[in-house]
Structure 1
Amino acid sequence: MSLVPSLTEAVAVSAPGALVGVTDWCTHPADLGGAVRIGGTKNPDVTAVAALRPDLVLAHEEENREPDLAALRAAGLHVLVTEIRGLDQALAELGRVLDACGVPNRPRWLDEAEAAWAAVEPYEPPRTAVVPIWRRPWMVLGRDTFAGDLLARLGVRNLYGDHPERYPRVPLDDLNAAAPDLVVLPDEPYRFTPDDGPEAFPATATALVDGRHLTWYGPSLVTAPRSLAAALRAARR
């Protein structure tokens, strides 16, 4: 049972048929067999999860709420909680998850992901960026984030990477005043569009990136370096 879209994809690709339940936000791969939808990552139907009697529930310390995980443990279920703040940790946690799910051999995609990121040549000279993840109110990537680590490996330094909060709320005027070289706009969790760049950041080049490639940890890591680098190169005003 997976409560995390990234982990759903990792398990479904590596052990087809192993998942008995997934969230409404689990969209990859398209065919999840007979897995039951049990609600969102923040509001799963705990009763429905317990009724499935999975051997293991996969969760994430940020995407899922502790009260829900505590309720699942109280129902007698084994909950594996992952923590992912950077690429190296993501690769290690993915290995741990797949081992816990009984995947007998290390999947090829995991080796390909490691190789793809090891081959990355960061943009020179490095660029600075702000990375909004929400508007109304405006929120950006702050310190210690997986997405921030991926961008750093591509040569893009998050101007709010030293902020005390991981996802600070920052007024739009302050974001513009920070004078980044680049604004990186993912299409999730907020679905930013081309119109959001010129409207909000008229003096700064904006790069629209695939949110799955920026924030998901799983098979998408294989193609993420190429996808993100191309989007950053295509940044425009």
Structure 2
Amino acid sequence: MSARPRVVSLVPSLTEAVAVTLPGVLVGATDWCSHPAGLDVVRIGGTKNPDVAAITALRPDLVLANEEENREPDLDALRAAGIEVLVTEIRTLDQGLRELARVLAACGAPRRPRWLDDAEAAWEAVTPVGPAPDGTPLTAVVPIWRRPWMVVGRDTFAGDLLARLGVRNLYGDHPERYPRIPLDELRAAAPGLVVLPDEPYRFTPDDGPEAFPGTAAALVEGRLLTWYGPSLAEAPRALARDLRAALR
């Protein structure tokens, strides 16, 4: 790999992390890579349907991928074209911090960036929101889609962040990572809180809370709950604020 590598990112979180830390290293990113604002690189399609030919034409030294967000056939095609692919696995905060350090080093970062230290410190100092006012564990359902309803299940980054905030995911032991659960079943589970992120489905004050009458609803920025990158430094404070506001 050259001293200043040419990098393509297939993961929005990693795109932001690399762009903020190593300006100019990225030469391509997906259509969904929305941060940092104004990122000027070649767009190579989606996370699930990248344009392999367009990526190859960019002559990257390295392509960044994630085992959950990207499809193995696409990564195999890139490898077959002689391109090095770094695949991350991030399902907990600790994994995220380690993988971010590995990615940035592979992209040529001479040292660990300050924002990564700030993120680690912010989560170490987090004050849990739970338990519930009556002293019982604070439980939540976390929808990520409707029509059909889908929620955060087991073994997820979002679930780990919520646990650190003192919120137990009611479907954290479900066999599936993102199960489809009928709305009447979600209501019958009687969560103390419903957490409604604005991505991948854009829940809003008028679209989401009305499905859970009588249940506290926290509308949160999805990037703070599911992205691993510079936003991790602000995530514990902002998420705790929004969760507490919903419980008042």
Say whether the fold is shared (TM-score over 0.5). yes
1:113-152 matches, cutoff 5 A: 113-125=119-131, 126-152=137-163
Aligned equivalent of 1:228: 239
Q: Structure 1 CA distance, aligned partners of 2:192 and 2:247?
A: 11
Matched, 1:11 2:18: yes
Q: Structure 2 CA distance, aligned partners of 1:191 and 1:71?
A: 33
Q: 1:20 aligns with which of 7, 22, 27?
A: 27
CA shift digits 1:94-143 (9 cap, x unpaired): 00100110100110000000000000011242410000001111000000
What is the identity, as a one-letter code, of the residue corresponding to 1:192?
A: F
Q: Structure 2 CA distance, aligned partners of 1:40 and 1:163?
A: 28
Report percent identity of matched pairs: 81
What is the identity, as a one-letter code, of the residue corresponding to 1:195?
A: D
Extract unaligned runs of 5+ from structure 1.
Answer: none
* TM-score calculated relative to the size of structure 2: 0.93
Q: Structure 2 CA distance, aligned partners of 1:198 and 1:121?
A: 26
Please state how far the C-alpha of 1:233 moved relative to its aligned partner. 1.1
Aligned equivalent of 2:52: 46
What is the identity, as a one-letter code, of the residue corresponding to 1:51?
A: A
What is the identity, as a one-letter code, of the residue corresponding to 1:63?
A: E
Please state how far the C-alpha of 1:197 moved relative to its aligned partner. 3.5
Matched, 1:211 2:217: no
Aligned equivalent of 2:109: 103
Q: 2:38 aligns with which of 17, 28, 31?
A: 31
Contact 1:17 1:32 in 2 (8 A): no
Q: Structure 2 CA distance, aligned partners of 1:73 and 1:152?
A: 37
Contact 1:131 1:140 in 2 (8 A): yes
1:156-175 matches, cutoff 5 A: 156-175=167-186
What is the identity, as a one-letter code, of the residue corresponding to 2:78?
A: L
CA shift digits 1:70-104 (9 cap, x unpaired): 11111111000000010000000000100110100
SS in 2 for 1:234: helix
Contact 2:129 2:244 in 1 (8 A): no
Aligned equivalent of 1:187: 198
What is the identity, as a one-letter code, of the residue corresponding to 1:60?
A: N
Please identify runs of 4+ aligned residues in structure 1 that moved more than 4 A.
none
Count of residues in Structure 1 that have an aligned counterpart in Structure 2? 236
Please state how far the C-alpha of 1:236 moved relative to its aligned partner. 6.2
* TM-score calculated relative to the size of structure 1: 0.97
Please state how far the C-alpha of 1:24 moved relative to its aligned partner. 0.5
Q: Structure 2 CA distance, aligned partners of 1:43 and 1:235?
A: 37
Aligned equivalent of 2:93: 87
RMSD: 1.1
Please state how far the C-alpha of 1:154 moved relative to its aligned partner. 0.4
CA shift digits 1:16-52 (9 cap, x unpaired): 000010000111111323x101111111111000110
Matched, 1:154 2:191: no
